[in-house]
Amino acid sequence: MTARAFQPPLDEGTALIDTTFVVVDLETTGSGPDATITEIGAVKVRAGEVVGEFQTLVNPLVHIPALIQVLTGITDRMVAGAPRLSAVLPSFLEFVGDAVLVAHNAAFDVGFLKSACTAQDTPWPGNTVIDTVALSRSVLLRDEVPNHKLATLAHHFGSPVTPDHRALTDARATVDVLHGLIARVGNLGVHSLEDLKEFTRRVPAQRRAKRTWADPLPETCGVYFFYDHVETDHGRERRVLYVGKSVNVRRRVRTYFTAAETRRRMDEMVRVAAGVDVVPCATPLQAEIVELRMIAQHSPRYNRRSKHPHKVHWLKLTAEAFPRLSAVRRVAPDGAAYFGPFRSRDSLDQVTSALQDAFPIRRCTDRLSPRRPQPSCALAELGRCVAPCDRSVSQEEYAALAEQVRSALAGDVRPVVAAARGRLQRLVEQERFEEAADLRNRLETWTAASLRHHRVTRLAACAHIVAAAHTDAGWEIHVIRHGRLAGAALARPGEIPQALARETVALAETVTAPLAPEPAGTVEEAERIADWLERPGVRLIEIDGDWFWPRHAGLETDEFARILLDPHHPVLESGDTITT
């Protein structure tokens, strides 16, 4: 058959020429829930040759309906001396082994076999199943065959066997049908078992036809991107439609042309795409970063995440006579204290509220003069602001309050959490549980934002880091400068990691120090790098700066609960400053 003429690489899947199939057919007492097996026939084939057959009648221990006797020719007398299913099933499963099961209308035959296993307390082996009905419907056109019955297909493919509703005969005819279908799809580039399975899943022909795009792509780590073409002032240019990453680009791209890809927008993307290309990467982290940068650069139509990496928010403690908290979009060199970043304004507002609940800092936006008093607002009367506007506190007293806020932003989330204990207890006692949940969520947002702030800003403050981690592929080496990935390499077995690290440093990107506390790259890039640096086994080779954050920049769940719920919990202890 055609499949014999092609031997695909081993990494393309299981070659059809190397696949053992067991084509099975059953005869039963009917199709209802009480029906049982009366005959099993099976043919084992490999590389187009029959290597074994299995056939036996089965005593169903029930009367065979007259209509079934006429259809199959199997009578009660014929099965009276036949073995029971409990005796037949183990030998049949041994005959099948780990081969691929093939049947015409496989749901029927495999369904009976699974039921038999359940009834006999025998585990179903879970063999791969190919349905020749589903395969023929995907391969043959309507003007080729009037229907997909076994007799019709056997005649279409010139089988010397005529199906007659006896198990072994029908199994032999199904073998010829299977070979005919494999020969047909072989002309469409189907040479592996995995490819054959895809044809049974009704993948649109237009999408399946583009599967050859993946063939020239490397089986290595990298970033792939689908594109179409647009006319510009400079001529016909590529337009990036979608960007993704993978440790095995070819294998990942192939899935977009199979039934494994079920996302509707991806189906549309593949239909309109004109091609796919790849950016090879040395390590998975580099692939993550390149993907982020490409999405940010091209804003691909079919990517949903990371398209606007610079749309972040910062919380600012202003540098003025009477500082206040302010939401801003960018960091400026104005001497203020900045806290963030925040991916959403809602998170920033929750953190602002948590801080304002803990510290009665002013909330008005007026610029207050240290010499000219102004009338206070309602918040002062409610005790929620110390009212520096009407000089209820001196500038020095207010500066001490602002310093407490600055200290909380600098690394200790516990005072803000502890300040909410009394209010939370009152809300619970008053059975205002929704408000209590909102308060708890606000505090959790505060602790999470604090940890993110220190991870990102401390990494941004490190001018140079060279780190390495050992993997199955070798030593992953990364050069990081001010929170931006400046270089990456993979020292494979036999290569000297230290020598490759020096070479990578020499070739690494020059990164200008950013405006603190922002990283040189995007915030998301810095977070991905921090995730990698914090993995077990990562080793620092060189570092210029301090990679650390305060001990209480975040809280574990149990510590968070103790501080929030225990009014006697000591918030500050000696030695709770900074750990490296």
What does 13-60 look like in DSSP terms, one character per residue?
--BGGG-EEEEEEEEES-SSTT--EEEEEEEEEETTEEEEEEEEE-B-
What local confidence, expressed as pLDDT, does residue 575 receive? 37
Q: Is the peptide bond before 517 cis (omega within 30 degrees of 0)?
A: yes
**Percentage, residues of the chain above pLDDT 90:** 60
- Two structure tokens written together for 279: 């950016």
CATH superfamily of 2-199: Ribonuclease H-like superfamily/Ribonuclease H (3.30.420.10)
For residue 259, the model assigns a pLDDT of 65
Helix (H, G, I), strand (E, B) or coil at 114: helix
Distance CA 461, CA 546 (A): 8
pLDDT at 227 over 80: yes
Q: What is the mean pLDDT of the chain?
A: 87
Which of 39-43, 234-238, 570-574 has the weakest average pLDDT?
570-574
pLDDT bin (cut points 50, 70, 90) of residue 533 is very high
Answer with the residue of higher pLDDT: 413 or 481: 481
Grade residue 571 by pLDDT with cuts at 50, 70 and 90: low
User: Residues 393-411, buried b or exposed e (16+ Cβ, 10 A)?
Assistant: beeeebeebbeebeebbbb
Lowest mean pLDDT among 35-49, 101-115, 174-188, 482-496: 174-188
How would you label 465-486 residue by residue, b for 16+ Cβ within 10 Å and e otherwise?
bbbbbeeebbbbbbbbbbbbbb
pLDDT of residue 286: 97
Q: How confident is the model at residue 463 (pLDDT cuts 50, 70, 90)?
A: very high
pLDDT band, residue 541 (cuts 50/70/90):
very high
CATH 3.40.1440.10 in the chain: give the residue spans: 205-298
CB of 547 within 8 A of CB of 533?
A: yes
pTM: 0.67
Over 80: is that where the pLDDT of 568 sits? no
Q: What string of DSSP letters covers 150-184?
A: HHHHHHHTT-SPPP-S-HHHHHHHHHHHHHHHHHH
pLDDT of residue 307: 65
Q: How far is CA 309 from CA 136, 306, 526, in A?
A: 48, 6, 11
What is d(CA 235, CA 351) in angstroms, rounded to the nearest whole number?
50
> Are the C-beta atoms of 177 and 153 separated by less than 8 Å?
yes
d(C-alpha 101, C-alpha 103), whole Å: 7
Whether residue 159 contacts residue 104, with contact meaning beta carbons closer than 8 Å, is answered with: no
Q: How confident is the model at residue 381 (pLDDT cuts 50, 70, 90)?
A: low
pLDDT tens column, 244-275? 999 999 989 988 887 667 777 888 899 899 99
Confidence class for position 8, pLDDT limits 50, 70, 90: very low
Distances (CA, A) of 508 to 139, 478, 529: 52, 9, 16
The structure tokens 């939370």 sit at 424
The span from the CA of 58 to the CA of 423, in Å, is: 76
Which residues participate in catalysis according to the annotation? 165
Contact 523/341 with Cβ under 8 angstroms? yes
Residue 564 has pLDDT above 80, yes or no: no
Range(s) of the chain covered by CATH 3.30.420.10: 2-199
> How confident is the model over 189-220, as pLDDT tens digits?
677 887 787 766 666 667 777 888 988 999 99
Could you tell me which residue, 366 or 511, shows the higher pLDDT? 511
φ and ψ at 192, to 5 degrees?
-130, 160
Given this model, what pLDDT does residue 569 score?
A: 64
**Residue 483 β-bridge partners:** none
Q: Note the pLDDT of residue 386.
A: 78
Q: Would you give the end-to-end CA distance of the chain in angstroms?
A: 68
Q: Which of 276-280, 377-381, 440-444 has the highest mean pLDDT?
A: 276-280
**Exposure of 331 by Cβ count < 10 A (0-12 exposed, 13-18 middle, 19+ buried)?**
middle
d(CA 188, CA 241): 26
Query: Are 278 and 222 spatial neighbours (Cβ–Cβ below 8 Å)?
Result: yes
Tell me the fold of 205-298. GIY-YIG endonuclease (3.40.1440)
**pLDDT exceeds 90 at position 31:** no
Q: What are phi and psi of 288, to 5 degrees?
A: -60, -45
Residue closest to 211 by CA, chosen among 125, 275, 293: 275
Residues shown for the chain = 580
pLDDT at 5: 34
